[in-house]
Amino acid sequence: MVVLMRDTIRNRRRGFLPAVILLGAGFAATFGLAAPATAGVRLKDMARIDPAAERQLVGYGIVVGLDGSGDSRSSTFTMQSVGNMLTRLGVTVPEGQVRVKNVAAVMVVARMLPYQRLGTRFDVSVSSLGDAKSLEGGTLLYTPLATPEGLVYANAQGPVSVGGFSARGGDSKVAQNYVLVGRVPGGGAIESEWKPPRVGDGINVVLDEPDFTTAMRVASAINRELGGKTARAIDAGTIIVPTAAAEDSSMDGRAARVTLLARIESLDVEPDIAARLVVNERTGTIVAGEHVSIASVAVAHGNLSVRIDSKPVVSQPQPWARGETVVVRENNVEANEDGGGLYPLQESANVGDLARALNALGVGPRDMIAIFQALKEAGALRAELRIL
């Protein structure tokens, strides 16, 4: 269970934006809230089964049919592309005479997954390359998609969906969402199949978050499912399952391998999550994991605020005196520091005790971020501190 707290009133008094503190299941248990029992995670949701590197595809194309929102003449590559395309179609245009506003040069990117067959369709992303104003209403023309090595595996074509709009009138502009990036749903098609080379005779299970304890739990779960000690963890992120575990006289080798993969990826495994505290100083967000705790420590924290007021003052000479009237600015600097005593914090066993101790200090989320950093430097924070 995740508890979401907003310290809005205190933040407004101190001039902070509303901040969010996310705390793990330990907080709910501490304050008597119902917390569900820890459930396992499907192996396919925390690891890549029999991983094969996907292919990143990229291509250069043009989008036509724009309502005057295409690239200007300063985007010379766009005009060259239009001229080259017309030449291939049998239309001769004098060099430098292409002047269109309804065309935009774009970069097309997509990813190709292993084992996709010839003709399989997929979405592609389109991004403006020149100085176009919008891709709304445009159509992507045939664009080959290749790997960085230049191997063409797919093509893309179709109407571009930007999910927004942009309207201009003089110096006024009304826009919703970002209209220089769009997608072509189902616009990509596989032209050449790609089968990744098989490495070794085993099946590799690669964890998204490497951890030795989790790796051992995954190996144990696979062995319980297969009824033998076949799987073994070779490091914190890789578990190997021999393909001999997939032998079945009633089916061929490929079908047996698919059956084995389906059995493995549906297993439930409880991952071992490290104690981690993540803070974002830009938004004042703090996310604390379930196993975060602190040692006994004393904390003193004060707030220093500086206020500078500047107002214009008219200075003029006395009657019958020489001089001229001028306007000068009078500055007033005021500094205040909120005093804070030395508060002892007892050793906490979970994140709930930690939250209750810090809330007792009466500090806001941004002050908590500074305290967490100091606790980490003092060696009292028993967790990994990550600052975004």
228 vs 267, more confident: 267
Average pLDDT across the chain, whole number: 76
Q: What's the pLDDT at 73?
A: 84
Which token pair is 331? 């500055």
pLDDT over 90, % of the chain: 17
What is the rounded distance in angstroms from the CA atom of residue 279 to the CA atom of residue 158?
43
How is the chain split into domains, by residue range?
3-37+275-286+293-387, 43-51+197-269, 55-190
- What CA dihedral angle connects 203, 206, 207 and 208, to 10 degrees? -140
Task: Calculate mean pLDDT across residues 85-114.
Answer: 86
Which token pair is 203? 């099946």
Q: Is the pLDDT of residue 352 over 90?
A: no
42 vs 203, more confident: 42
- Residue whose entry in the numeric block shows the structure tokens 């297969």: 226
At residue 94 the predicted structure's pLDDT band, cuts being 50, 70 and 90, is confident
What is the rounded distance in angstroms from the CA atom of residue 375 to the CA atom of residue 358?
12
Q: Is the pLDDT of residue 185 over 90?
A: yes
Alpha-carbon 112 to chain mean position: 20
Q: What's the pLDDT at 148?
A: 85
Pairing of strands 276-280, 384-387: parallel
Closest CA to 366 of 22, 28, 26, 15: 15
Q: What is the pTM of this model?
A: 0.59
Q: Is the pLDDT of residue 119 over 80?
A: yes
Hey, is 127 helix, strand or coil? strand
Number of H helices, E strands in the chain: 8, 25
274 vs 27, more confident: 274
Q: What angle do CA 29, 12, 304 make, to 5 degrees?
A: 100
Q: What's the pLDDT at 341?
A: 58
Question: For residue 161, what is the DSSP state?
Answer: B
- Out of 195-209, 273-287, 367-381, least confident range: 195-209
What is the rounded distance in angstroms from the CA atom of residue 191 to the CA atom of residue 154?
5
Question: Phi, psi at residue 86, to the nearest 5°?
Answer: -65, -35
What is the rounded distance in angstroms from the CA atom of residue 180 to the CA atom of residue 166?
10
CATH 3.30.1360 fits 43-51+197-269, yes or no: yes
Which amino acid makes up residue 244?
A
pLDDT digits (tens, 9 = 90+) for 35-61: 444 567 888 888 888 766 678 899 999
Task: Calculate mean pLDDT across residues 1-14.
Answer: 36
Q: Is the pLDDT of residue 334 over 90?
A: no
CB burial of 135-162 (b: ≥16 within 10 Å; e: otherwise) equals bbbbbbbebebbeeeeeebbbbbbebbb
Q: What's the pLDDT at 333?
A: 55
